[in-house]
Structure 1
Amino acid sequence: MRAVVRTADGGPDVLRVDEVDTPSPGDGDVLVRVAAAGVNRADLLQRRGHYPPPKGVSETLGLEVSGHIEAVGAGVTTWSVGDPAVALLAGGGYAEYVVVPAGQVTSPPEGVDLLSAAGLIEVAATVVSNMDHAGLRDGETLLVHGGTGGVGSFAIQYAKARGCTVATTAGSDAKLAVCRDLGADIALDYHGDWVAELKEATDGRGVDVILDIMGAKYLGPNVASLARGGRLVVIGLQGGVKGELNLNALLTRNATVTATSLRFRPTEQKAEIVARVAESVWPLISDQTIRPAGETRFALDDVRAAHEHLESGDNVGKVILVV
């Protein structure tokens, strides 16, 4: 089969498409014939050598795919050859075929094009699992950074569907307009003093939950933006891995700082998350309560261009590799 191979740690130029062995499903697995794969910032980190896959998982990039079931392993009774499917992966998605535990596969949302569906499961699972982890309650206030990215654009709409007030950050007037169109109540330019502007917009209270993709760079500003009893969930490290934490600021707010990774969770937990997404989120997508913020498609052979586009900062929504 054809798959994207990473020849070294580095920039997009280390990626190439080559022939590799086609995997076979083991007990409890399915083999998916890939139609498309979502491109995520975690893939950029792995390409640079900063985010290796869990032990025993394919070194091929790619954390989500859509396609059709090609074969089923022993003990799998919920899937048949030819069924359309989307899958949450620990790796291996940039390829013509990928093996995945059957519990991490679900049907695409009704009414969604199969290629577009490739970019839904990773962001949906990330947002839902972390909002559950943070205990987001209906009607609370959420701050999500990077409001026009895949996770950010989804989180805005998911929280609005739950009656929350949503604040977000972005880096240009055009992107802030996209955030507002998605439902953000407060849209802040991260080049400015967004902490002060957020405090003013919340009458000095701050926010209940923050979904953060930046890590170290925003650790202090995020804690300063929390309301009493607030919860900060770090899911990305675009701004570095080591930061200084003012424990007194955390203590006086009775606040919580936590960090999670979807990729390294046990298979059983991932299956539970996928089932929750199918039950609670897919209907919101099918009735267009949640709608994609946009997508840009590249052919598998143009994987370097896909990574360059995502890294450029110009992207809105999801990047899709059509296999």
Structure 2
Amino acid sequence: MRAVITDHPGAPSVLRPVTLPDPAPGSGQVRVSVEVAAITFVETLARAGSTVVPPATFPAVLGNGVGGTVDRIGPGVDRDWLGARVVTTTGGTGGYAELALARATDLHRVPGRLGLPDATALLADGRTAVGLHEAARVRESETVIVTAAAGGVGGVLVQLATAAGARVVALAGSDTKLAHARDLGAEVTVNYRDPAWARGIREAAPRGVDVAFDGIGGDTTTGLAELLRPGGRLVRHGAAGGRWGTLDEAAIAERGITVIGLQALGAADLFALTERALELAAEGALQATIGQTFPLAEAASAHAAIESRTTIGKTLLLP
């Protein structure tokens, strides 16, 4: 099979196409003939050797989310899965390939009304956004900040908060991305590359904001915390800026701010969250944003595009 491998951490150029033996599913596993492979921002950090995420084991075929058709099953797997159109996690690696192994218990049947690329785009980002939205308990008439609002997770958060009746303030880094956030339902848009971005939010929400979804980290975290009104919620789910932000814990406690992290998803049923995201999309209540696609062999170019901060929504590989 064709795949993309990296032998060591480094720039996107360390990703190279190779031919590997076809994998065979073991007990409780299936093999998926991959039609779509998702790229996450976390994978670009792992490839680069960033300390923000758990280190990868090299050599590695990256990729934790794929969509395709089950073409082989291992011992103990129901034969009804053969030929099924599915999206699934791969256990952390192996997705940048024509064939990928997955546990049968991780498979999601793709609703008939939903395209395979859309379902794959929502596999990780959809469940993350749905879980974070629920953990934040966004309510009608609240003011909500969504950072990286034109990204995969951010775009879904904008839609979920808007559907809940909240007023959404979207942060993004270009006019094109801000326009996309408005299309998804954001009422106010602010370019975070403007040094005065916090002032722009204060002008739009002089009484403060109720919830801030922080996918950027770094100094942005401090700025977002200062914009929250007493009793607000700060949801920290990413460090796209290259490092996690720091907080004045005493000041946070004094103002009654609740800090919610990704560990909130650990207490949730990730499988059920994924099912919910797929069903919302099939019903037309949630829209996946597929900003760009690349052939499998051009995975290095896909990673470079993501790191350039020019991409919108989800980036997919097409084996």
Q: TM-score, normalised by structure 1?
A: 0.87
Q: Which residue of 1 aligns with 2:34?
A: 34
Q: Greater shift after overlay, 284-293 or 153-162?
A: 284-293
Q: Which residue of 1 aligns with 2:125?
A: 123
Q: Which residue of 2 aligns with 1:204?
A: 207
Q: In structure 2, how many angstroms separate the alpha carbons of the residues matched to 1:153 and 1:252?
A: 32
Change in Cα spacing, 1:37 to 1:200, as seen in structure 2 (3 Å) is same
Q: In structure 1, how many angstroms separate the alpha carbons of the residues matched to 2:10 and 2:197?
A: 33
Q: Which residue of 1 aligns with 2:241?
A: 239
Letter of the structure 1 residue corresponding to residue 274 of structure 2 = V
What per-residue deviation string (whole Å, max 9, x for no partner) do you get for residues 298-319 of structure 1? Answer: 1111111111221222211211
Runs of 4+ with deviation above 6 angstroms: none
Letter of the structure 2 residue corresponding to residue 200 of structure 1 = E
Unaligned runs of 5+ in 2: none
Change in Cα spacing, 1:5 to 1:276, as seen in structure 2 (3 Å) is same
Q: How do residues 119-198 of structure 1 correspond to structure 2 at under 5 angstroms?
A: 119-192=121-194, 193-198=196-201
What per-residue deviation string (whole Å, max 9, x for no partner) do you get for residues 233-254 of structure 1? Answer: 2221222435442234312321
Any conservation in 2 of the 1:69–1:79 contact (CA below 8 Å)? no
Any conservation in 1 of the 2:122–2:278 contact (CA below 8 Å)? no
Identity, % of aligned pairs? 32
Any conservation in 2 of the 1:206–1:225 contact (CA below 8 Å)? yes
Any conservation in 2 of the 1:71–1:81 contact (CA below 8 Å)? yes
Q: In structure 1, how many angstroms separate the alpha carbons of the residues matched to 2:59 and 2:103?
A: 13
Q: In structure 2, how many angstroms separate the alpha carbons of the residues matched to 1:282 and 1:74?
A: 28
Change in Cα spacing, 1:62 to 1:23, as seen in structure 2 (3 Å) is same
CA RMSD of aligned residues (A): 2.6
Q: Which residue of 1 aligns with 2:6?
A: 6
Q: In structure 2, how many angstroms separate the alpha carbons of the residues matched to 1:310 and 1:201?
A: 30
Q: TM-score, normalised by structure 2?
A: 0.88
Letter of the structure 1 residue corresponding to residue 205 of structure 2 = T
Q: In structure 1, how many angstroms separate the alpha carbons of the residues matched to 2:256 and 2:80?
A: 47
Q: How do residues 1-323 of structure 1 correspond to structure 2 at under 5 angstroms?
A: 1-50=1-50, 51-52=53-54, 59-77=60-78, 79-89=80-90, 90-192=92-194, 193-207=196-210, 209-241=211-243, 243-260=245-262, 272-278=269-275, 280-323=276-319
How far is 1:114 from its partner? 1.8
Change in Cα spacing, 1:217 to 1:21, as seen in structure 2 (3 Å) is farther
What per-residue deviation string (whole Å, max 9, x for no partner) do you get for residues 93-136 of structure 1? Answer: 11112222223221224333223432121110111122233333
What per-residue deviation string (whole Å, max 9, x for no partner) do you get for residues 192-243 of structure 1? Answer: 3222222332232222x22212122222112112222222222212224354
How far is 1:69 from its partner? 1.1
SS of residue in 2 equivalent to 1:154: helix
Unaligned runs of 5+ in 1: none
The count of corresponding residues between Structure 1 and Structure 2 is 315
How far is 1:54 from its partner? 7.7
What per-residue deviation string (whole Å, max 9, x for no partner) do you get for residues 60-101 of structure 1? Answer: 211211001122334433851110001134222111122222
